[in-house]
Amino acid sequence: GAVVSQHPSRVICKSGTSVKIECRSLDFQATTMFWYRQFPKKSLMLMATSNEGSKATYEQGVEKDKFLINHASLTLSTLTVTSAHPEDSSFYICSARDLDRENIQYFGAGTRLSVL
């Protein structure tokens, strides 16, 4: 399967700081990437759809000024959690859609964010 790299895998930060998470498709070009959030024993919740060269599409209830998404190239999308607060602590996962492989979404390993 295709490879998606997500970095960092874990981050601990103080309240009020901003955290950037990177998602890279390593062996394919991804015009579309997705950002999810997952709480313990819950399903993946789609936060936003990131399209290369255009603005991200956010799901209802997701603050776009809080979760900044940039998809500047066909292999990289970033999610920045701005002015993080303890309630932002969660598991964030990205995925990239491979058009050459039946539009299957391939996922990164996830980022565990802990805001103190």
Partner 1 sequence: SQKIEQNSEALNIQEGKTATLTCNYTNYSPAYLQWYRQDPGRGPVFLLLIRENEKEKRKERLKVTFDTTLKQSLFHITASQPADSATYLCALGCAGGNNRLAFGKGNQVVVIP
* Binding residues vs partner 1 (CB under 8 A): 1, 4, 6, 32, 34, 41-44, 46, 49, 51, 57, 91, 93, 95, 97, 102-110, 112
Residue 83 CB, shortest distance to partner 1, in Å, is: 26
Beta carbon nearer to partner 1, 1 or 86: 1
Q: What are phi and psi of 88, to 5 degrees?
A: -85, -10
Residues 4 and 21 sit within 8 Å (Cβ to Cβ): no
Residues 36 and 44 sit within 8 Å (Cβ to Cβ): yes
Q: Which residues pair with 26 in a beta bridge?
A: none
Residue 77 CB, shortest distance to partner 1, in Å, is: 13
Residue 73 CB, shortest distance to partner 1, in Å, is: 18
Residues 21 and 92 sit within 8 Å (Cβ to Cβ): yes
